[in-house]
Structures are given as C-alpha cells and as structure tokens.
Amino acid sequence: MMFSTARNLRKHGVLGVNERNARLIMKHNPRRLYPNVDNKVITKELALAAGMAVPELYGLIGHQSEVRNLGKVIGERDSFVIKPAHGSGGDGIIVVTGRSARKRDCYRMASGLLITESELQHHTSNVVGGQYSLSGNPDIALIEYCVEFDPVFANVSYQGVPDIRVIVYRGYPIMAMVRLPTRMSSGKANLHKGAVGAGIDMCSGCTLNGVLDNAVVDEHPDTGALIAGLQIPGWDFILRSAARGLEVTGLGYLGVDIVIDRHHGPLILEMNARPGLNIQIANCTGLAGRISRVDELYDAAASPEARAKFARSEFAVATSRA
C-alpha cells in the first residue's frame, strides 16, 4: 500500500520535502542570498530598486529604545501593519484596520478586537527582541501600509488579506495559488492554520477549486461563496513581477507572495526561499513535471516578460479541471 502510494505520487510528479530541499533549494538557492528574502527590509529595498510595487514602508523600529516612538511612526494613520523583518509563516504580524471611535490610542485589529497602544508597544518590543525571528536573534519591526484588498476576493475571505503565492523556478513562474483566510485561520493567509488554498490556472489567471486541510472544497467555509472561477485582476502583471523575483533575489527556487490592493494593484508582500509544497494540493498537480519542463526549455537569456509568457502557454490547465 505504502509503496504503491509512493509510486503513484511519483507518477503524478508530486514533489516531497526531501526532494525539494536536496534538489531545488540546495542547488538553486545559495545560502548567502537568503538574507535577500529572509529579511523583509532588504527584500523591500531590492524590490523597490527593481521598480516593483511594494506596500509603502512607514517606518522601522530596530531597537528597544525606539519602541516608544511607535506612536510617532504611526502618526495619524488609521490602518497599518506591524511585522517582524525575519518572521516566517505570518507569525508576529499585527494588522490594524482602524481606531476606536472614542479613544484615539485604542486600535482595532483586523479581527475586530481592540488593542491599546501599550499592547502594541509590547508586541513591537517582542518583535525587536527576536521572538518571531527564525533564530531568536534581535529583529527589526516594520510598520507599513495595510493593504486594502481588491473586492474580487471580498466574498471568499474572512477578515485578513488573501494573498497570491507564485512559485518561480529559475525565473519561470510555474505554479500559483491564492490563499483565502478563514475564521479557522483567524484571518491569516496561512494554509497550516486553516486558510483555504485555491489553485490558479497559469494561463487565464482564474481560480480553480479550493483545498482546505488536504480536502477539496468548492465553497468558502465561512462565506459560502464559490471559490472557483474568480478572475484575478492584473494576472499578466503578477506573472511578470514574480518572474523578476529571480533578478531581484538571485534565488532559483522562490515563492513570491503578492497581494492585490484596491488602490495600488498587485503589491509584492514578501518572498520565500523555502516555499511550502501545499500549492501542489491546491492545484491538484505535482511540481516535478513543470520543473522538468522548465529545465528542458531553459533559456538563460529570456527576459522576465518572455518567461511569464512561457508560463502562460506551457502551464495552462486543461479546461476540464477548471
């Protein structure tokens, strides 16, 4: 039974963690380039330098003594996000979407709960202290623009911001999914925590069926809206931005996370040198086949635009799936 399952997975080109680590990450992602993606401050600078769209940075807090300046950094803004520069998996992120009507120093989080400024300061101090950084080292807290997500996803997300994950292999976008927050994931776009993942047809940019905890779902568990068939706006732009991830970071196997803002369009949120493999479940397709297709037709001289075009023509989903 076990061996036949393994054989079938192999036949369907499903990529396992061991294989991803040994064949892709170790081969294409040199360690010295990790800071480019692990440190969100550097990622943001690199992306800005490359002319990519990113959420506006309001300020950085890199030292415990600066934590009390949090109020000054926030200024009169009503919405913002606090996140650790070295966070992973969405840990340590606080999304503030508004303020209490009666008290200006009481903020409303995406979940609807209120949080005082001193609590925000404590959280920021934890971030700076390194509680959410991968190695527990002192960290930097970013305070940045809070994305107001595009209405296209309004019916299929619960609180939080849905984001689009594109896997880019040697500069070629090969697979994508959209992660839809649910009540279970407490508004976080993280599949581990119960967010719904929906595959995306690389050609059209339309969503496919969703997956919740390894099971296929048609409807969003909280809103009941159909997940499949949503057209993602600016799909071509998204693919081209993702393809440029190679030039920006130098990493050959990359996950690019993009959010679609109501006002600013697709913004690059972060990049990941060890993107997870759940995207295969969301797309009901293994990554290995697409990877070997890229290896076959790899062209080092191809521009990001050409690579995005390649993805649209090569990795279209058969209509029966969509």
Question: Could you list the residues that contact other proteins (CB under 8 A)?
Answer: 2, 4-6, 8-12, 14, 16-19, 22-23, 64, 89, 91-92, 122, 125-126, 129-132, 136, 192-193, 211, 214-216, 277, 280-281, 284-286
Tokens 């984001």 sit on residue: 163
Q: Which is nearer to other proteins, 111 or 303 (CB)?
A: 111
CA angle 190, 137, 64 (to 5 degrees): 100
Reading phi first (left if > 0) and then psi (alpha if -120 to 50, else beta), residue 103 is in beta
Measured between alpha carbons, how far is 309 from 304 in angstroms, rounded to an integer? Answer: 9
Whole-number minimum distance, CB 217 to other proteins, in Å? 12
Whole-number minimum distance, CB 128 to other proteins, in Å? 9
Whole-number minimum distance, CB 20 to other proteins, in Å? 9
CA angle 234, 312, 277 (to 5 degrees): 90
Q: Which is nearer to other proteins, 6 or 154 (CB)?
A: 6
Q: Which is nearer to other proteins, 103 or 192 (CB)?
A: 192
Q: Which is nearer to other proteins, 92 or 160 (CB)?
A: 92
Measured between alpha carbons, how far is 218 from 24 in angstroms, rounded to an integer? Answer: 32
Say which amino acid occupies 102.
R
Cβ count near 256 (within 10 Å): 30
Whole-number minimum distance, CB 154 to other proteins, in Å? 26
Whole-number minimum distance, CB 285 to other proteins, in Å? 8
Q: How far, rounded to the nearest angstrom, does the alpha carbon of residue 290 sit from its chain's CA centroid?
A: 20
Whole-number minimum distance, CB 183 to other proteins, in Å? 13
Whole-number minimum distance, CB 169 to other proteins, in Å? 16
- 242 touches 188 (CB < 8 A): no
Q: Which is nearer to other proteins, 11 or 32 (CB)?
A: 11
Q: Which is nearer to other proteins, 91 or 148 (CB)?
A: 91
- The Cα-based distances of 26 to 22, 30, 159, 176, 280 in angstroms read 5, 7, 37, 22, 20
129, 116, 123: which is closest to 64 by C-alpha?
129
Roughly what angle, to the nearest 10 degrees, separates helices 304-314 and 235-243? 120
Q: Which is nearer to other proteins, 11 or 263 (CB)?
A: 11
